[in-house]
Amino acid sequence: MREVYVIGAGMHPFGRYPDKELPDLAGPAVQAALADAGLTWRQVQMTYCGHVRGGTTAAQTALAPLGYTGAPVINCENACAAGSTAFYLAALAVGAGQCDVALVLGMEKMTRGMVPTAAGGDMARLMGLNPLPGKYAMIARRYMHDHGCSAADFAMVSVKSHGNGVHNPYAQYRHACTVEEVLASRQVCDPLTLLQCCPTSDGAAAVVLAARRPALASPQRPLVRVRATVLVSQFHVPGDPFDVSEMTARAAQQAYATASCGPEDLDAVELHDCFTSAEVIHVESLGLCAHGEGTRLAATGRNGRGGRVAVSPSGGLLSRGHPLGATGVAQVAELVWQLRGQAGGRQVEGARLGLTHTVGGGGGGACAVHILERAGSARGR
Amino acid sequence: MREVYVIGAGMHPFGRYPDKELPDLAGPAVQAALADAGLTWRQVQMTYCGHVRGGTTAAQTALAPLGYTGAPVINCENACAAGSTAFYLAALAVGAGQCDVALVLGMEKMTRGMVPTAAGGDMARLMGLNPLPGKYAMIARRYMHDHGCSAADFAMVSVKSHGNGVHNPYAQYRHACTVEEVLASRQVCDPLTLLQCCPTSDGAAAVVLAARRPALASPQRPLVRVRATVLVSQFHVPGDPFDVSEMTARAAQQAYATASCGPEDLDAVELHDCFTSAEVIHVESLGLCAHGEGTRLAATGRNGRGGRVAVSPSGGLLSRGHPLGATGVAQVAELVWQLRGQAGGRQVEGARLGLTHTVGGGGGGACAVHILERAGSARGR
Find chain A residues with C-beta within 8 A of B57's C-beta. 77-79, 118, 360-363, 365-366
Interface test with A, best of B51, B66, B68 (most A CBs within 10 A): B68
- pLDDT tens per residue across span B111-148: 765 444 444 455 555 555 557 888 899 999 999 999 99
* Per-residue pLDDT at A361: 85
Using the predicted structure, report yes or no on whether residue B215 has a pLDDT greater than 70.
no
List C-alpha distances in Å: A332 to A94, A193, A208, A335: 16, 28, 10, 5
What single DSSP character describes residue A286?
T
| Mean pLDDT, residues B192-196 taken together | 96
Whole-model pTM: value is 0.95
Is residue B190's pLDDT more than 60?
yes
Return the pLDDT at A306. 87
Model pLDDT, residue B26: 98
Residue A282 to residue A346: CA distance in whole angstroms: 22
* Candidate list A49, A76, A80, A367, residue with the active-site label: A80
Predicted confidence (pLDDT) per residue in B1-24, tens digit: 899 999 999 999 999 999 999 999
What is residue A123's predicted lDDT score, i.e. its pLDDT? 56
Residues of chain A with pLDDT under 50: 114-120, 378-381
Residues B303-361: tens digit of each pLDDT: 998 899 999 999 999 999 999 999 999 999 999 999 999 999 999 999 999 999 999 98
Distance of alpha carbon A294 from alpha carbon A140, whole angstroms? 11
CB B295 within 8 A of CB B153: yes
Residue B132: predicted pLDDT: 84
Residue of B nearest to A234 (CA): B70
Is residue A354 packed enough to be buried (19+ CB in 10 Å), middle (13-18) or exposed (0-12)? Answer: buried
**Which residues of B belong to the active site?**
80, 322
Could you tell me if A173 and A165 are in contact, meaning their C-beta atoms sit under 8 angstroms apart?
A: yes
Q: What are phi and psi of B239, to 5 degrees?
A: 95, -30
Is the pLDDT assigned to residue B379 strictly greater than 50?
no
Q: What phi and psi values does residue B261 have, to the nearest 5 degrees?
A: -145, 180
Asked if B55 is an interface residue toward chain A (Cβ–Cβ < 8 A), one would say yes
What residue ranges in A126-257 does DSSP mark as E strands?
Answer: 187-189, 192-193, 202-210, 224-232, 235-236
- Residue A145 carries which side chain, given as an amino acid letter? H
User: Which residues in chain A are contacts of B235 at CB distance < 8 A?
Assistant: 68-70
Distance between CA atoms of A14 and A12, rounded to whole angstroms? 6
Chain B residues with beta carbon closer than 8 angstroms to that of A91: none
Taking the C-alpha atoms of residue B135 and residue A273, their distance in angstroms, rounded to an integer, is: 46
Q: Does A55 touch chain B (CB under 8 A)?
A: yes
pLDDT of residue A265: 98
- Calculate how close chain A gets to B150, using CA atoms only, in Å: 33
| Average of per-residue pLDDT values in chain B | 92
- Residue B345, number of CB atoms within 10 A of its CB: 10
pLDDT, residue B381, reads 35
pLDDT tens track for B35-87:
999 999 999 999 999 999 999 999 999 999 999 999 999 999 999 999 999 99
Q: How far is A248 from chain B (nearest CA, A)?
A: 11
pLDDT of residue B128: 54
What whole-number distance in Å separates Cα of residue A215 and Cα of residue A268?
Answer: 26
DSSP SS3 for B36: helix
Q: Do residues B166 and B175 make contact, with C-beta atoms less than 8 angstroms apart?
A: yes
CA–centroid distance for B234 within its chain: 19
ipTM of the complex: 0.94
Contact A57 B77 (CB under 8 A): yes
Give tens-digit pLDDT for B237-281.
988 988 889 999 999 999 999 999 999 999 999 999 999 999 999
How close, in Å, is residue B105 to chain A by CA atoms?
14
Hey, are the CB atoms on A365 and B232 less than 8 Å from each other? no
Any residues with CB less than 8 A from the CB of B342 and at least 6 apart, and which?
A: none
pLDDT classification of B99: cutoffs 50, 70, 90: very high
Handedness of CA B159, B160, B166, B172 (dihedral sign): negative
Output the pLDDT for position B378.
Answer: 45
Buried b (16+ CB within 10 A) or exposed e, B132-164: bbbbbbbbbbebbeeeebebebbbbbbbbbbbb
